[in-house]
């Protein structure tokens, strides 16, 4: 029914690593999976257009950069080389706070509202949010980072670029983009890298596991490494700490960093201990929406549909 509003969230696992793809003889596995995903997105676009072109916003993005330890299954970094880190070992892609780890493509398609063939340099932070606009009704932004919650509205807002849709763009919160540690170095979730306009500051660096098995050492930086991404998207040469540019931008970065840490420390933070709370123990119950059970084997008796077992089971 094309007259009824709808919301579709499609989380594809295609490019995490290619899944069940038989590549043509002259192509690689990654390229074959990418083409299949592209064809699927194209079918969705065609269906949306057939239900009323211009009435549906399509938003396409990813969750992280290439998983380089998977070698030919990981794709490429393009210009986001993280050259400073690569010279010291490890991968500057997924699980790191380098641009190759956190920066992802974002495409928006909305005929009649978003002009074609236009790009924007605005920073967008992905957050779960429902926004009501008198002209467009309810528009849902559902891309989110796992470490952002809906309670963080004052600092993790949606920042859109007026040149894309002047009547629709709006801005909430701080212009600072935080890069929490993602597994390569430092405590997971701790904020030890941030972006302020074109400047990227690192208080901790490290390389994830690379294709060759190498891992970059964890290093701490006081004062921080600062890169000007407008001139150095490869993150190859940090600013000289004695330079006028570094001395000019450091106070602003330090203030933004201190404010971010204060906001996090005073925010609503769960006290649940998911390693001990019984509610978080993996479960097996065919009557529970959050539980999944392993299929019975020849060595085990079938589970009764009302069985509720704890531990050694998967809970998704």
pLDDT in tens, 81-113: 999 999 999 999 999 999 999 898 888 898 888
- Residue 246 pLDDT greater than 70, yes or no: yes
Which distant-in-sequence residues (6+ apart) come within 8 Å of 253 by Cβ?
A: 194, 196, 199, 201, 224, 226
Which one-letter DSSP state was computed for residue 38? H
Q: Give the mean pLDDT of 259-281.
A: 76
* Cβ(34)–Cβ(23) below 8 Å: no
* Cβ(210)–Cβ(92) below 8 Å: no
pTM of the model: 0.71
What's the pLDDT at 157?
37
- Give me the domains of the chain, ranges plus CATH numbers: 57-265 (3.30.1120.10), 272-316 (no CATH)
Dmax over CA atoms of the chain, in Å, equals 73
- Residue 316 pLDDT greater than 60, yes or no: no
Asked which of 57-61, 248-252, 283-287, 306-310 is least confident by mean pLDDT, the reply is 306-310
Q: Give the mean pLDDT of 69-80.
A: 90
Q: How distant, in Å, are the alpha carbons of 159, 213, 285, 300, 304 from that of 296?
A: 50, 37, 13, 6, 11
């Amino acid at each position: 029914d094309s007259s009824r509003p709808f919301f579709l969230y499609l989380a594809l696992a295609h490019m995490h690593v290619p899944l069940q793809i038989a590549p043509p003889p002259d192509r690689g596995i990654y390229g074959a999976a990418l083409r299949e995903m592209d064809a699927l997105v194209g079918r969705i676009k065609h269906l949306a257009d057939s239900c009323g072109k211009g009435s549906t916003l399509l938003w396409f993005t990813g969750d992280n950069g290439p998983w380089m330890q998977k070698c030919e299954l990981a794709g490429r970094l393009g210009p986001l080389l993280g050259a400073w880190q690569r010279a010291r070992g490890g991968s500057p892609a997924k699980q790191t706070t380098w641009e190759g780890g956190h920066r992802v493509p974002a495409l928006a398609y909305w005929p009649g509202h978003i002009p074609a063939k236009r790009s924007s340099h605005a920073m967008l932070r992905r957050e779960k949010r429902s926004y009501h606009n008198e002209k467009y009704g309810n528009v849902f932004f559902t891309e989110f980072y796992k470490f952002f919650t809906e309670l963080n509205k004052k600092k993790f807002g949606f920042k859109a670029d007026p040149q894309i849709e002047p009547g629709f763009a709006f801005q909430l919160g701080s212009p600072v983009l935080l890069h929490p540690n993602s597994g390569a170095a430092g405590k997971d979730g701790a904020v030890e890298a941030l972006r302020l306009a074109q400047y990227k500051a690192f208080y901790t660096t490290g390389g994830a596991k690379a294709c060759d098995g190498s891992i970059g050492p964890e290093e701490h930086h006081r004062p921080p490494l600062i890169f000007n991404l407008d001139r150095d998207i490869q993150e190859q040469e940090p600013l000289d700490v004695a330079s006028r540019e570094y001395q000019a931008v450091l106070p602003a970065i330090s203030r933004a960093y201190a404010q971010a840490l204060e906001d996090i420390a005073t925010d609503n933070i769960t006290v649940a201990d998911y390693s001990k709370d019984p509610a978080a123990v993996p479960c097996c119950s065919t009557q529970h929406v959050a539980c999944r059970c392993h299929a019975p084997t020849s060595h085990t008796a079938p589970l009764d549909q009302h069985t509720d077992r704890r531990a050694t089971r998967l809970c998704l």
